[in-house]
Amino acid sequence: MTLDPNSISLAALIVSAIAIIASIYSALRQEHLSKTEIKLQRDTDLLKWGADCVRILQEMIEFTFRIQHDTEDELAEIRTNLLSEVSVLIDIGRWYLPNLINSNQPHERQAAYKGYRPIAIDALLYSYRVFKSFDFKEKDRVNDLRQYLVTAKREFVSQIQTTVDPARLMAATGEKPNYPKWMHPKELLPKRYQDDGAEQ
């Protein structure tokens, strides 16, 4: 059986086309996987940084309970150490959550500090400023300081959760969410938490 040269050419063309399509598909798939891996790695790093930030914010909140009974010298030393940690975390966070650049702003600022800060960075920065400026003699304002820090921490956690999207991370790892209702004796809880719909 003799094959028609035209048929051979057509078959070769079809095989070549299939090979090209397969190559393009493989390249696109590899590019998608690479982007996904980069995103997952960034999210992992962001979560580690976020965890450090939440820890230090919680330490600042717990510090407010010492203001009533510790000496000012003791408080000042602890505050200095906490502020140092927060300052470092703020600058590290600028690598993960860069500012929104505004071309109208002066060019004298360094690149990382130009533009508008993300809300998560603002939550840390203003916590730093409020915490640093608090006068230990104003013990009647301790609750205000504590509430400010609690609010800032909640906002920070929400911002990081929105950025990372835990549901997407769980989907990428094949993990399925399981949220059983936690049973508890309500009478042991403060009244504001006894309502199932209360904010946690």
pLDDT tens for residues 54-101? 999 999 999 999 999 999 999 999 999 999 999 999 999 999 998 887
Per-residue pLDDT tens over the stretch 147-197: 999 999 999 999 999 988 777 767 767 777 666 565 555 666 666 666 655
Residue in this structure with the two tokens 């299939």, named with its chain if needed? 18
Q: 3-class SS at 57?
A: helix
For residues 5 and 183, what is the distance between their CA atoms, to the nearest angstrom? Answer: 78
What is the rounded CA–CA span in Å between residue 181 and residue 194? 14
Q: Residue 198: its pLDDT value, please?
A: 44
Instruction: Please give the single-letter amino acid code of residue 84.
Output: S
- Asked if 183 and 54 count as a contact pair (C-beta separation under 8 A), the reply is no
What 3-state class would DSSP assign to 3?
Answer: coil
Say what the pLDDT of residue 99 is: 87
Question: Could you report how far apart the first and last alpha carbons of the chain are, in Å?
Answer: 80
Q: How far apart are the C-alpha atoms of 199 and 193, rounded to whole Å?
A: 8
Share of the chain above pLDDT 70, in %: 66
| Residue 11 binned pLDDT confidence (cut-offs 50, 70, 90) | low
